[in-house]
Chain A
Amino acid sequence: MKLTIEKLHTASNITDQFKPKSSGIIPKGLTLIAVLIITSILIVILGNIILGGIGIISWDFLSSPPENGMESGGIFPAIFGTVALVILMTIAVVPMGVMTALYLNEFTTPGSKITRIIRIGINNLAGVPSIVFGLFGLGFFIGFIGSGIDSIFYDSGRPVWGQPAIIWASLTMALLTLPVVIISTEEALRTIPQDIKDASYALGATKLQTIRRVILPQAMPGIFTGAILAINRGAGEVAPIMFTGAAYYLPYLPHKLNDQFMEMGYHIYVMATQSPDIEATKPILYGTVLVLLLLTFMLNFVAIILRSKIRSKRLTI
């Protein structure tokens, strides 16, 4: 008995010799380096923004309009415009995205030719550069739909809808974020077990009732995830709104759907590239970037809270 145990020990020693000594250290080291690089980049970016921007943020900065060619004053119109843009975009993109996902998952045969073509279309839409969306919005929404409305309902000659406006910018942004909403809704729909749908049908429910009472409540967290991602994207993109509604400077807040608006991302772009004295606007630029980051975090945070509320309600009630 003793002998066998000793033998075993020697045997394991032998195999140990053949094992690479550093196994575990190299992969761990490499992954750790990757993590360090990522976090330090993030820390540098955030640190720079926070240090540069924190000094200028005050109630005045948040609540007053820009003055003096943007060299002083605040950014309230840009904050207002960004929030309005994101809200209008969400109102447009979520129903459209959810309905598309429902169509693909509930009303067509999975793997059929038509769904495959639509899916390819959606994936391609996700890969289109955002500036192309901007140009498309200009050509389609403003040049075609807006001008079309003008020529049918207005005859003043002055453009009413056929001009850059917050509604067109929101719709353009909605198109840009549509794939995100569709894909995350589809993922949520796919996780709903067939036997729950069967149970609903077996109780005499129609397809629409099943969608409304069983499928959509179950998919809600996934839909919210899609909306969160869309909001993130929408609050940060500048290219789609450059031609479709964002204004360099506006003395008033947008109060109609066909008004132009100021937006924070565009405001940052303008201050960084178009301002007469870039050095003088730098503190405001930093402050605006910081506020934009905080605003995005906040919109995210609200959506995440809502989602977790729905999730817990779904599981416990």
Chain B
Amino acid sequence: MLTNELKPKDKNNSVRQKNIKISIRDLDFFYGAQQALYKVNIDIIENEVTALIGPSGCGKSTFLRTLNRMNDTIAGTKITGDVLLDGTSIYKNFKDVSLLRTKVGMVFQKSNPFPKSIFENVAYGLKVNGINDKALITEVVENALKKAFLWKEVKDKLNKSAFSLSGGQQQRLCIARALAIQPEIILMDEPASALDPLSTSKIEDLIGELRKDYTIIIVTHNMQQAARVSGTTAFFYEGVMIEFGRTKEIFTKPKKKKTEDYITGRFG
């Protein structure tokens, strides 16, 4: 509804005036002495898919991992600048990083289910966050699997190993697992890069559905995928955010020469 109201105003193709969910301010990131991100400024809009594109090693995955502080697990990393989630600094104000990660879920490049049953995989996030009510867990697991379009395929074998699923199903299980903890934002790091075309299109359909309820940020190497699933796109090159804007605009009339070169396949 909000989208419809705002559409007429969206004439000059600028980023639509919607709620800003995450706001990244002058973000610098270092692996030891090596700087990986330079003064990144982006406003991520609520309930929209933001695609991060750029050649390998350009810092887009690193950037994604700063949003749920996954880089904290890597020794010797340093960050300056700030990331604001609903106006609150996730680096200065979130003492409990677990709480942040329940708000900002993540799906990884390679499907990484735990060596546990399908049910236990989805229930894991609930259990580690102190939910022990069995009926509630069962309900949430079912809902999460339904949201991930996986319920029909697994409802009769919830106690089977997660490894008995196909690659595409495993990735949707990982999405269900992330959904179970009721995040507001979902980070996806090339979620379909290891999948066949059919599984990929299932994941893309799923992203299209999830957009209604979640803010999604997706790293992808696949231009067509970025164009298909995202509303806004950020182009990274050598740790610098070169261009950020409506996906349509980035792909049809990029403002920067570098962006155009990358999108037309002149490098990368």
Size class of the contact patch on chain A: 20 to 34
Asked if B2 CB lies within 8 Å of chain A CBs, one says no
Report B205 CB to chain A, min CB distance, Å: 23
Hey, which chain A residues are within 8 Å of B124, CB to CB? Answer: 200, 203, 205, 213
Q: Contacts A213-B128, A316-B161, A317-B161 known; A199 to B112 CB distance under 8 Å?
A: yes
Hey, which chain B residues are within 8 Å of A213, CB to CB? Answer: 124, 127-128
| A-B pairs with beta carbons under 8 Å apart, 22 shown | A193-B112, A195-B110, A196-B114, A198-B108, A199-B108, A200-B114, A201-B70, A201-B101, A202-B68, A202-B70, A202-B101, A202-B105, A203-B102, A203-B181, A204-B98, A204-B101, A204-B181, A213-B124, A214-B114, A218-B115, A317-B116, A317-B117
Hey, which chain B residues are within 8 Å of A314, CB to CB? Answer: 115
Question: Which residue of the partner chain B has the closest CB to A199?
Answer: B112
Asked if B80 CB lies within 8 Å of chain A CBs, one says no
A residues 109-162 near B (Cβ < 8 Å) are 109
Report A296 CB to chain B, min CB distance, Å: 32
Q: Write the residues of chain A forming the contact surface with B, with a CB cutoff of 8 angstroms.
A: 109, 193, 195-206, 209, 213-214, 217-218, 314-317
Question: Which residue of the partner chain B has the closest CB to A195?
Answer: B112
Asked if B6 CB lies within 8 Å of chain A CBs, one says no
Question: Which residue of the partner chain B has the closest CB to A317?
Answer: B117
Number of interface residues of B (CB under 8 A): 33
> Are the C-beta atoms of A200 and B128 separated by less than 8 Å?
yes
Tell me whether chain A's interface is mostly helix, strand or loop, or mixed. helix
Question: Which residue of the partner chain B has the closest CB to A192?
Answer: B115
> Are the C-beta atoms of A198 and B99 separated by less than 8 Å?
no
> Are the C-beta atoms of A203 and B101 separated by less than 8 Å?
yes
Asked if B159 CB lies within 8 Å of chain A CBs, one says yes
> Are the C-beta atoms of B178 and A202 separated by less than 8 Å?
yes
| Apart from A202-B70, A218-B115: 18 A-B pairs, beta carbons within 8 A | A109-B75, A193-B112, A199-B174, A201-B70, A201-B73, A202-B68, A202-B101, A203-B102, A203-B105, A203-B125, A204-B98, A205-B124, A205-B128, A206-B128, A213-B128, A315-B163, A316-B160, A317-B159
> Are the C-beta atoms of A203 and B177 separated by less than 8 Å?
yes
Hey, which chain B residues are within 8 Å of A203, CB to CB? Answer: 101-102, 105, 124-125, 128-129, 177-178, 181
Q: Give 5 nearest A-B pairs by CB, closest first.
A: A203-B125, A205-B128, A202-B106, A195-B112, A204-B98
